[in-house]
Amino acid sequence: MTNGVLLGFDYGTKRIGIAVGQTLTGSARPLTIVKARDGKPDWDAISRLIAEWRPVALVVGLPVHMDGTEHERTARAQRFGNQLAGRYNLPVHRVDERLTSYEAELELRAQGKGGAALDAVAAQLILQSWLDTHAEESRP
């Protein structure tokens, strides 16, 4: 894995949470939320973020049932990842996102914050999970 900036995505049919992370530091933080309409992402907004942050790769969370089996949202997130790869010619990594929204909600509550940032915090947890798993291979 090349060192550099990564963007993480928590795909949803109404909102897409986005986080930014760095392979060198192995850390991620919430960035923003992009709206989606009828499951279609705001590609202009995503393109602006790609141009601004110039990531070396993207990470998309895959929602699965607790037993690891796929469901309808899994296929939608897979398709979104495929579209990202096709549009931006960047590597797209996928990571199991079980319980990330729940964890994000707990984290925001503990900080006394509302749910407006929930999707971006979920994206941070997704990206952080990927960074933690790949820390050894991405650091010099």
Domain range summary for the chain, segments of one domain joined by +: 5-138
Q: How distant is the alpha carbon of residue 106 from its chain centre?
A: 18
Per-residue pLDDT band at 59 (split at 50, 70, 90): very high
The conformation of residue 116, written as its DSSP 8-state character, comes to G
- Angle CA(15)–CA(48)–CA(56) in degrees, nearest 5? 95
**Is pLDDT at 108 greater than 60 in this prediction?**
no
Q: How far apart are CA 109 and CA 89, in angstroms?
A: 37
Per-residue pLDDT reduced to its tens digit, 71-107: 778 889 999 999 999 999 999 999 887 655 555 555 6
**Structure pTM?**
0.84
- pLDDT score, position 114: 56
- pLDDT score, position 104: 52
Question: What is the side-by-side strand order in the sheet with 27-37?
Answer: 40-41, 27-37, 15-22, 5-10, 57-62, 92-96
- pLDDT score, position 138: 46
Give domain 5-138's CATH superfamily: YqgF/RNase H-like domain (3.30.420.140)
Q: How far apart are CA 46 and CA 18, in angstroms?
A: 9
CB neighbour class for 140 (10 Å; exposed up to 12, middle 13-18, buried from 19): exposed
Coil, helix or strand at residue 40: strand
- pLDDT score, position 130: 92
Lowest mean pLDDT among 42-46, 106-110, 125-129: 106-110
State phi, psi for 95 to the nearest 5 degrees.
-140, 145
Choose between 83 and 68: higher pLDDT: 83
- pLDDT score, position 66: 64
- pLDDT score, position 98: 62
- pLDDT score, position 65: 62
